[in-house]
Amino acid sequence: MKNHQNTSSICVYSMSLLFLALLLVGCTEQESGVFQGYVEGEYVHVSSPVGGTLMSLSVERGQVVAAGSPLFTLERELERAVVSEAEHGLQQAQDNLANLEKGQRPSEIASILARLRQATASSNLAKVEFQRRQRLIAEQTISQEELDRAETDYDQKRQRVKEIRAELETARLGARSDEVQAAMAAVRQASAKLEQALWSFDQKKCSAPVDALVFDTMYREGEWVSTGSPVVSLLPPSQVEVRFYVPQTKVARIRQGQKAEVFFDGIDRPVEITVSYVSPEAEYTPPVIYSSESRAKLVFMVKGRPSLEQARLLHPGQPVDVSIPELSDQE
């Protein structure tokens, strides 16, 4: 009977020590500056605003690309034909404007000058004939009718000279201002049409907007890509962040710009991050945090970003532990 009592006492004592140890462990975890979290990434989905058949895919999953590197090209033969047509239309409009601005060609002006010389000679001859008839009428050797005919012929030839001179001035000035303005408007219209055609042509060849990791490709060559459908998904290093969850008892001591250390399997040294966001709303620990001790606790989400160099060590969905040295020093 005595042995049984001793055994019972030992069991109770052992259970008490175990409970105390678990309690101390739980308190240590709650009071330490280490928090559970995971890596998250904000992806850049590259698509074309114009649909078409995927002719070439220049990247593959897991590849690192630099800004400006080609990603994919859609079929664009129709757009190339539209560009060619728009280029010819613009050239035609520009030639028409230049022709109106510079006036008639030299050969046409030379022809007008020749007609002017001929008309001037005829006018001079008519003048001489008219003056001779005036002398003859004074001598009463011709009739008044003959003098009138000579005067009329001289007057007509003088007016012809004036007409050709005006034509020459017009030829040298070029087209009228309203015709030039209309030609200039046609050039602007043709230029806008060419810009639109070039835009559609360029939109079917997409390049990387930033340095990034090719996270995924959604189509294979030869497949039809709908308008606006993403073809390549990129993960820029600047869009990699760590999300971790802090109990409500400690969130007041965390601020933006604070440094933290990220631990995960497979590294010798922690990755340093800078706190960029502290959520103002409490929530229950999300299911991605695999901790049976804290899954029912109210916590606040905190976001931190690593440097661009160290961001490549982190992978979206990866579970991590985050330590804030300042909190540990204050414990």
The CATH number of the domain holding residue 269 is 2.40.30.170
Do 143 and 59 share a structural domain?
Answer: no
What's residue 104's pLDDT?
62
Residue spans of the chain under pLDDT 70: 1-33, 102-105, 172-176, 287-296, 328-331
Chosen domain end from 217, 235, 253: 235
Domain presence at residue 69: yes
Do 225 and 212 share a structural domain?
Answer: yes
**Under DSSP, is residue 284 helix (H, G, I), strand (E, B) or coil?**
strand
Do 255 and 231 share a structural domain?
Answer: no
Residue 41 forms beta bridges with which residues?
Answer: 240
Domain presence at residue 13: no
Read off the DSSP letter of residue 21.
H
Do 292 and 251 share a structural domain?
Answer: yes
Q: Token digits for 306?
A: 């690593």
- Is residue 51 within 8 A of residue 226, CB to CB? The reply is yes
Read off the DSSP letter of residue 292.
T
Domain presence at residue 199: no
What's residue 174's pLDDT?
57
What are the angstrom distances between the C-alpha of 45 and each of 217, 229, 326? 10, 9, 38
Q: What is the DSSP string of 79-95?
A: HHHHHHHHHHHHHHHHH
Looking up residue 208, the CATH number of its domain turns out to be 2.40.50.100
Do 119 and 68 share a structural domain?
Answer: no
- Is residue 74 within 8 A of residue 251, CB to CB? The reply is no
Domain extent for 54: 44-74+204-235
- The C-alpha R_g of the chain, in whole angstroms, comes to 46
Do 169 and 225 share a structural domain?
Answer: no
Residue 70 — φ and ψ, nearest 5°?
-65, 140
